[in-house]
Amino acid sequence: MPNTQPVPQPGILQIDAYVPGESSVAGDLKPIKLSSNETPLGPSPKAVAAYRAAADSLALYPDGGANELRKTIAGHYGLDPERIICGSGSDELINLLAHAYIGPGEEAIYSEHGFLMYKIATLGSGGKPIAVPEKNYRADVDAILAAVRPNTKVVFLANPNNPTGTYLPHDEVRRLHRGLPAQVLLLLDAAYSEYVRRNDYEAGLELVATTPNTVMTRTFSKIYGLAALRLGWAYCPAAVADVLNRVRGPFNVSAPALAAGQAAILDRAHIDTAVAHNEKWLPWVAAELERLGLQVTPSVGNFLLIHFPAAPARSAGAADEFLKGRGIILRRVAAYGLPGALRMTIGSEDDNRRVVAALRQFMGQS
């Protein structure tokens, strides 16, 4: 019997569509939105000015090769511009890599509480997502290596990971790479790398520079404050860059995004301010929440995973409702296998103080 309607490819209907962080609450309250790991400082004013200037040329297609932006990124990090590929957010690059390298029935590995897009991109390619257990909310290199099979095509690793905030030191990432067969692509997703202040951390540039099967992705959505524009980039081996150039749309990044991204990366002072803000408030919020008796997973990103008690009145779901009633939006992370936790983005000083005060009340301590 012929199908009575168009049928999508295998895997597509297994995808639970990504649910973004909420952005509004009931009533007239102006919400405090700490649900998507955006920066409370906003973008560099220079990026905003470049974005506005781009309004004069909206009739023209953007530079399809993102040449100026790639040159600027290359100059900033000391990279080969030919091996940089820009995308409409790093999500697009993750998807393109999955579509290019994972075929029907082939496997891609990610860690248990890893970023959700890895599963979505794998299923979207007809592949089989393999979630590997973590240890203490951290990716487990031995478990990942034990899950590799002859038909494994990609290992996805967010470092630091969202939503746990944990990271793997460079030695561990190197050990992971050493254990992978040469045909497996290791995708290091370094969306939060600018926030990390650890001597043993490396975002992935070194491995990409020295190995033929590692790709690093980066984003302008987090510390650069340009989430609305959708801009990310990947640093790749030459052969992978060639593949991405074949499969990406010819004008996959808009002209305002290219202009703003270039100005943003050159404004080091703005990034330094954002790092300093996070360095001050991340430990402050963590300590205050622990004082309330909540468990907080140690984070090196701009967000915290907060674990709530099992008692229904003190649970993550109850906390979420309580906070929303006060105009505060954190992120439920049940879809990440963490039904007992909420993720909180580090906000402005005022936001952070208000969340802590509200949770103090929720925990019955005010």
Ligand X SMILES: Cc1ncc(COP(=O)(O)O)c(C=O)c1O
Window of 70-78, 89-97, 311-319, 320-328 that interacts with ligand X by CB under 6 A: 89-97
227 counts as binding ligand X under rule CB under 6 A: yes
32 counts as binding ligand X under rule CB under 6 A: no
232 counts as binding ligand X under rule CB under 6 A: yes
What is the total residue count of the chain? 366
Residues 108/154, Cβ–Cβ less than 8 Å: yes
162 counts as binding ligand X under rule CB under 6 A: yes
Find the shortest distance in angstroms from Cβ 158 to ligand X: 4
The position carrying tokens 């330094």 is: 272
Window of 85-93, 264-272, 280-288, 327-335 that interacts with ligand X by CB under 6 A: 85-93
- Among residues 275, 289, 277, the alpha carbon closest in space to that of 355 is found at 289
Query: Of these, 39, 44, 72, 90, which contacts ligand X (CB under 6 A)?
Result: 90
Query: Of these, 62, 89, 204, 237, which contacts ligand X (CB under 6 A)?
Result: 89
Window of 51-59, 88-96, 128-136, 317-325 that interacts with ligand X by CB under 6 A: 88-96
Q: Considering Cα of 140, then 145, then 146, then 151, what sign does the dihedral take?
A: positive
37 counts as binding ligand X under rule CB under 6 A: yes
Window of 40-48, 84-92, 201-209, 234-242 that interacts with ligand X by CB under 6 A: 84-92
Cα 185 versus chain centre, distance: 18
111 counts as binding ligand X under rule CB under 6 A: no
Q: Which is nearer to ligand X, 255 or 292 (CB)?
A: 255
194 counts as binding ligand X under rule CB under 6 A: no
Query: Of these, 219, 262, 345, 352, which contacts ligand X (CB under 6 A)?
Result: 219
Q: Which is nearer to ligand X, 144 or 158 (CB)?
A: 158
Find the shortest distance in angstroms from Cβ 91 to ligand X: 3
Residues 50/262, Cβ–Cβ less than 8 Å: yes
Task: Restricting to residues 58-77, name those near ligand X by CB under 6 A.
Answer: none
Window of 219-227, 239-247, 292-300, 356-364 that interacts with ligand X by CB under 6 A: 219-227
DSSP 3-state of 269 = helix
Backbone angles phi, psi at 111, to 5 degrees: -85, 155
Give me the helices (H) in 29-185, please: 45-53, 67-77, 89-101, 117-124, 141-147, 170-179
Task: Restricting to residues 294-333, name those near ligand X by CB under 6 A.
Answer: none
Cα 24 versus chain centre, distance: 22
The position carrying tokens 């959700």 is: 116
- Among residues 149, 121, 147, the alpha carbon closest in space to that of 134 is found at 147
Q: How many CB atoms lie within 10 A of CB 287?
A: 11
115 counts as binding ligand X under rule CB under 6 A: yes
CA 286/CA 218 separation, integer angstroms: 26
122 counts as binding ligand X under rule CB under 6 A: no
DSSP 3-state of 263 = helix
Residues that bind ligand X (CB under 6 A): 37, 89-91, 115, 158, 162, 189, 191, 219, 221, 227, 232
